[in-house]
Amino acid sequence: MGSKRILILDYSVDRSETESIKRWLPVESSVSSLFIDTEESFPDDLINNDFTHVIHSGSALSITETAPFVEKAMNCIRKIRDKGVSQMGICYGHQLVCRALVGDQAVRSSPNGLEAGWSRVTIANNAMNVLGVRESEMVWQHHFDEVTELPEGSELLATNPHSSIQAFINYGQCLFGTQFHPEIDEETGNKIFLKDRELLEKHHYNVDAMVKQGPSLEAGKVFFDFFIEG
């Protein structure tokens, strides 16, 4: 296997996603990142770089609102896809990839409202062996929006009653996406829940009960290893 050259496009408002993601990536890989918050922060020549993998991060932004950088980002996603470079989207990034490759109709605010907590997802039969996971796993969730339509040729990897598309893969277009956040470990995830107590309780979540739970697997290792090495 050649050297991995990984780009993290960090859309997080607080610039927290890069370090959360980077800790799971191979130490021998070359990792760079860009914080994206304006149209100007998205380089015109990004497609000319020789990255082997591009990761689109999560964000506190809503995919249903067009942030200043979105059109440029979606155009870049299409060009990266056409170049055959592997792309992974996490929550907002997952939604952004699908919006870019399917259209605005691929995303929406979830009619079920906020999904937050250590939430159970069901892994599809075709994914359990590939990922090395069980049929049911607990992962970190914190989102209002969801994907409703996947790029042509995609396979569903995980689902749950709140948001039916929890993870997908598209071998033909070199795409991998998760609605949940595999980069968030138990300590970090519970700190965020405590910080967001007011918002979560407004949406009828019991934060004290939430922080007593945790993940059922080391999601960062499972999902980032699968993306980078698979």
| Catalytic positions, written as ranges | 91, 181, 183
Which of 140, 123, 219, 152 shows the shortest CA–CA distance to 179? 140
d(CA 104, CA 206): 33
- Rg, the chain, Cα only: 16
CA–CA distances in Å: residue 34 to residues 38, 46, 54, 192: 11, 10, 11, 23
Q: Which helix (H) or strand (E) holds 117?
A: strand 115-123
CA–CA distances in Å: residue 28 to residues 2, 4, 22, 32, 226: 11, 8, 12, 13, 16
Q: What are the beta bridge partners of residue 8?
A: 33, 55
The number of helix segments (H) and strand segments (E) in the chain equals 8, 11
Write the DSSP string, 23-52. Answer: TTS-TTSEEEEEE--SSTTS-TTGGGS--S
Please report, as a single letter, which amino acid is at residue 55.
Answer: I
Task: Find out whether 205 and 168 touch, Cβ atoms under 8 Å.
Answer: no
